[in-house]
Homo-oligomer: A and B are copies of this chain.
Amino acid sequence: MKEKLVQNAAGRWVPVEINGEKAIPYQGVGAYRPQGVRHAPRLFSNADYPADGNKEVASLKEALHKAGLKDGMTISTHHHFREGDLVANQVFDAAAELGVKNLCWFPSASFPCHAYLLKYLDDGTISHIEGSMNGPLGRYCSEGKMKKTAVLRSHGGRYQAIQDGEVKIDIAVIGAGCADAFGNANGVTGPSASGTLGFALGDAQYADRVIVVTDNMVPFPCVPWQIQGNYVDFTVKVDRVGIPEKIVSGTTEVTKSPDRLLLAELTARFCEVTGIIRDGFSFQAGAGGTSLSVGNYFADIMRKKGINARFARGGSNKYLVQMLEEGLVEYILDGQTFDLDGVRSIRDNPRHVMTSPFTSYNYHSKGNIAGMVDVVVLGATEIDLNFNTNVVTHSDGYLLHGIGGWQNCLFAKTVILPVPLFRDRIPVIRDEVTTLCGPGELIDVVVTERGIAINPLRADLIEKAKGSGLPIKTLLQLKEEAEQICGKPQPPVFTDKIVAAIKWVDGTVIDVVREVAVSH
């Protein structure tokens, strides 16, 4: 059967149906208005839960069985334990033992440690993944091996999809560093402390059944109760929910690469000369080496000017914590936590504010935090001449990254992408991006080691950068410089088969990923 495709507002051909469900093509930034109402879970009664609040059962398998696990259900897990996660693999081991098939796995993100689950994709325990894929699972998907179409969403889009009822979670399994038998849970204490648990909020609120799994069961109340036991059906104590040294890195480190340091320095200088760094401003930078370095340069500029930031959005890490403790940053609004200093600080310092994809990123509510951030520094795999950007596929066509909060952060007041002009002699700036993830109108500045391109829509920034001595160029100039060095890149070769859909923050389909044509 040939899929029916339509051209969306970004000019991409997308299906009007995904896995048998209606899909809405992308209509442009802010153009689509959701119809209808929030997903309404059924009502429960206290009378059906233990009077003393003790919901503990003996094993994850028992909890899944009691939760009514059956063929075709949607099971969610979360990536708070990152590469150290042991929960998702245990869930599907239990499902396989129970003989259940055709599950949709709905993780907030997957990591290389979840390559373990390839066997369950092969044997039909898992039919497909709806969630950000990192590495081996993305490669498996790109090779056309998944039984249904994968769906990738941003962190905010995942919350939106749950809230709007696009994805109905039958059973949510929430791994937590700390919990009580009632189901209150947090990630700030215990051997598997991971920082916040915000990615599981929507699951707790809207899933039919909720299971909390921990290796650190404490007497009620588990405080803070970032996940509220009032949403939880069963609690389980297991030996280990994660491998501590892989959950958070002991330390994060700034880059030592001269090229990346240059990108970071140019980004910070751009923010300084254009007045983005001012007293009371706000910023978000990721946990990559370049982003960490940008934060350090920001700190130098703030010290020099004697100003501070009202808030920074984290990913808390030791550099951001230092800025908080030095008073350069008044609050850290944490989405996740990247190292042990971040975990310690979020536990002990009340100037951390735990956020969730609801508060930070949900597009179908009455505003969110992302839009209030003055400047955000993000990555990209490819950028076209209109600033349209790809973050999920490489230029060889393979789906190797999730979207994370990337799309959501594009609503910040200024969006800057520091990127190398080429990687492994493959240019980053291209005539067309392999996969469209972010509309160019939301991307303001591209910083490369050979020059800075400002989106023509931002005449204000172009004006402010004049006479700054910064190397301002056009994207076309930068692309030509790269091609002079690396040559014109070859486009990837795909079959017609759609293997994944890329959702925009409002649940519409902005692009698809096709099967990579592997030469035999």
Which residues of A does B touch, CB under 8 Å? 30-53, 55, 163-164, 182-183, 210, 219-221, 223-225, 228-233, 280, 310-311, 331, 333, 350-351, 353, 358-359, 362-369, 371-372, 411, 413, 506
Question: What are 25 pairs between A and B in contact, CB < 8 Å?
Answer: A33-B45, A34-B43, A34-B44, A34-B45, A37-B41, A43-B364, A44-B366, A46-B363, A46-B366, A46-B367, A51-B371, A52-B371, A52-B372, A182-B367, A182-B372, A219-B310, A220-B372, A221-B353, A223-B351, A225-B359, A228-B358, A230-B365, A231-B365, A231-B366, A232-B366
A311, B221: Cβ atoms closer than 8 Å: yes
Residue of B nearest to A372 (CB): B53
Give chain B nearest CB distance to A316 CB in angstroms.
15
The CA of A219 and the CA of B372, in the complex, are separated in Å by 11
| Inter-chain contacts of A363 with B (CB < 8 A) | 45-46
With contacts A34-B43, A37-B43, A40-B38 known, is A366 near B221, CB below 8 A? no
Q: How many copies does the complex hold?
A: 2
Partner of A49, one of B164, B310, B367: B367
| Inter-chain contacts of A229 with B (CB < 8 A) | 366-367
Residue of B nearest to A32 (CB): B45
A39, B36: Cβ atoms closer than 8 Å: no
With contacts A220-B310, A221-B311 known, is A43 near B52, CB below 8 A? no
Q: Which of A39, A183, A230, A233 has the most CB of B within 10 A?
A: A230
A223, B366: Cβ atoms closer than 8 Å: no
B362, A230: Cβ atoms closer than 8 Å: yes
Residue of B nearest to A180 (CB): B372
The CA of A233 and the CA of B52, in the complex, are separated in Å by 39
Give chain B nearest CB distance to A249 CB in angstroms.
27
Residue of B nearest to A42 (CB): B37
B366, A233: Cβ atoms closer than 8 Å: yes
A225, B353: Cβ atoms closer than 8 Å: yes
| Inter-chain contacts of A44 with B (CB < 8 A) | 34, 364-366
